[in-house]
Amino acid sequence: MKYCQGPLCHTYQTKDRIRGPKGAKVYQTRRRSSFYSLGGNACSMRCEQDWFQKFGERAVNHFGRIVEPIKLTEDNAWRKNERYYNPRGLNPYYWYNGLTEQELPMTEEQYNNQSLVRP
Ligand SMILES: [Zn+2]
């Protein structure tokens, strides 16, 4: 079980956030075994947005702000593809270059090898 990381989660007054005995009720941060927002760390899009509003700028600066364009070149444009429609019985796995549109055959083993990123 983990708590929603939304900094304002406890301020949204819904019944499922109420805890405590009559006369001493409080609203508290949601706690669940899993969440769907903020990569599994926030209970809702609202809490995700609250988190980004408060921490996003610092997070971007901390992990590395992009300060010049990242470029797609012939060298890093290779993608792994799988043919789902394959009436001619071609090798189902292949490299595809998003810039040159070149295709190269690939084995299933190469396709599944996560560290292999270009032919
Ligand atoms: Zn929340």
pLDDT tens digits for range 56-71: 999 999 999 999 999 9
Confidence (pTM): 0.70
* Ligand 1 center–CA 5 separation, angstroms: 6
Burial of 41 (0-12, 13-18, 19+ CB in 10 A): middle
**CA–centroid distance, residue 43 to ligand 1 (Å):** 4
Burial zone of 35 (CB within 10 Å; 0-12 exposed, 13-18 middle, 19+ buried): buried
Mind listing the pLDDT tens digit for each residue in 71-114? 999 999 999 999 988 888 888 999 999 999 999 999 999 999 99
Residue type, 62: H
